[in-house]
Amino acid sequence: MHKNYLGQMNNFEPKPIHFDFDGEERAAVLIIYTGGTLGMSYNSEGALVPSGFDHILSKLPVLEELKLRLSVISFDPPIDSSNIRIEQWGDIANIIKAQYTNFDGIVVLHGTDTMAYSASALSFMLEGLNKPVIFTGAQLPIGLPRSDARENFIGALEIASDYKNGIPIISEVCIFFNNILIRGNRAKKVESNHFDAFESENYPVLAEAGISIDYNYSALKKHKGDSSLIVKTAMDDAIIILKLFPGINRKTISAMLDTDHIKGVVLESYGSGNVPHERWFLDLLAQATANGKIILNISQCLGGRVIQGKYQTSSALEKIGVIGGSDLTIEAATTKLMYALANHHNLKDIKSWLSTDISGELT
């Protein structure tokens, strides 16, 4: 049975812990600590395990120099990001909703493995967002000498508190990592052994941090001061990802598409949206759409976009009702489909919403 998740904190408002530093405070930033490598430490068996936020704070005395009022809400216990669940996206969104007016910006400390999924999900859940929500983490724990955690965390705090003429420079969900700022629903983790873990192939970098932070103002989401935050945490997990490969057979695809409880399919096609032109394959897709299933076509390529009909092998998809996903990442496509199925109950509305740029996720 599929689940329509609403988040766990609808009736629970966790209280932030405040850290007071001496001197003038130029901004207030909320830190939501979910866990991840940044705050991990080694146990007696030599394995990395999540630690509390106090461990992070003890490694960063420089925080006092930022002149920020910092407050922290920690997941208890902290979690490895490979264990992140849909409910916890709702938890993060509901924390932001409860604390939104109390802070100038929010930093979410999160593991890297699923960070792009979480940032994408939050970009849809936080409708009308007009403050910075900056995800960051690390490839190495903050206690190690060569850790990237310090620069990532401090840079995220600076961006979350950066205002110009009383208006936040960033008004969207982003990822700050290895000195670059990326739109959250455009990000993809591409590296596990180096510090440059995230890329944005189909959209420009929003900022680069060197001696100063240089913002790419033309690429930023425009601030709308009159917008109000509306948080919708419902997500429907009745979806699958169907990644094509040469030799994929009829029985495999039929087993996936014929599953009764599945409502949506993210189809990872070749190149600019191409699929096998065999009749049995197209018939299976046609039968699925005729049965009310939503099929969202995105490319396996890191760069480029789906253009259904550019080649003969993709032209048939339009006729059978497959939705072209343009340049959506797999992370944005997955979370957008979950959100659409949970919050729109008419097939026409779902298809229209998936084809529309909601929060800068598609071109």
Q: Could you tell me if 123 and 173 are in contact, meaning their C-beta atoms sit under 8 angstroms apart?
A: yes
User: In the structure, how many helices (H) and strands (E) does the chain have?
Assistant: 9, 23
Under 8 Å between Cβ of 91 and 7: yes
Quote the DSSP letter at residue 14.
P
Report, in this order, helix, strand and coil percent for the chain, each rounded to 5.
30, 25, 45
Contact 330, 185 (CB under 8 A): no
Distance of alpha carbon 63 from alpha carbon 126, whole angstroms: 28
d(CA 43, CA 3): 35
Catalytic residue among 37, 114, 136, 233: 37
Query: Rounded distance, CA 125 to CA 358, Å?
Result: 11
Cα 153 from Cα 137, distance rounded (Å): 7
**CA atoms of 182 and 331, how far apart (whole Å):** 14
Asked whether the beta carbons of 173 and 160 are under 8 A apart, the reply is no
Q: Does 37 participate in catalysis according to the annotation?
A: yes
Which residues sit opposite 214 in a β-bridge?
208
Q: Do the Cβ atoms of 336 and 124 come closer than 8 Å?
A: yes
For residue 152, what are the CA distances in angstroms to 60, 108, 135, 136, 202? Answer: 12, 11, 10, 6, 23
CA–CA gap between residue 60 and residue 11 (Å, rounded): 34
Please, are residues 122 and 92 in contact by the beta-carbon 8 Å criterion?
yes
d(CA 19, CA 68): 9
Which residue reads 């394995």 in tokens?
47
User: Known catalytic residues?
Assistant: 37
